[in-house]
Amino acid sequence: MSSDIVLIGPIGAGKSTVAELLADRVGLPQWSMDELRWDYYQEIGYDEELAKQKRESEGL
In the chain, domain spans: 15-58
Task: Please give the angle made by the CA atoms of 52, 37 and 57, to the nearest 5 degrees.
Answer: 15
CA 10, CA 60: separation in Å to the nearest integer? 11
Reference 3, options 20, 33, 18, 23; nearest CA is 23
With bands split at pLDDT 50, 70 and 90, how would you rate the model's confidence at 36? confident
Which pLDDT tens digit goes with each residue over 10-34?
A: 988 999 999 999 999 999 899 888 7
CA 27, CA 24: separation in Å to the nearest integer? 5
pLDDT at 31: 86
pLDDT above 60 (res 1):
no
Residues 6 or more apart whose CB falls under 8 angstroms from that of 20 comprise 30
Average pLDDT rounded to a whole number, residues 30-58: 89
With bands split at pLDDT 50, 70 and 90, how would you rate the model's confidence at 60? confident
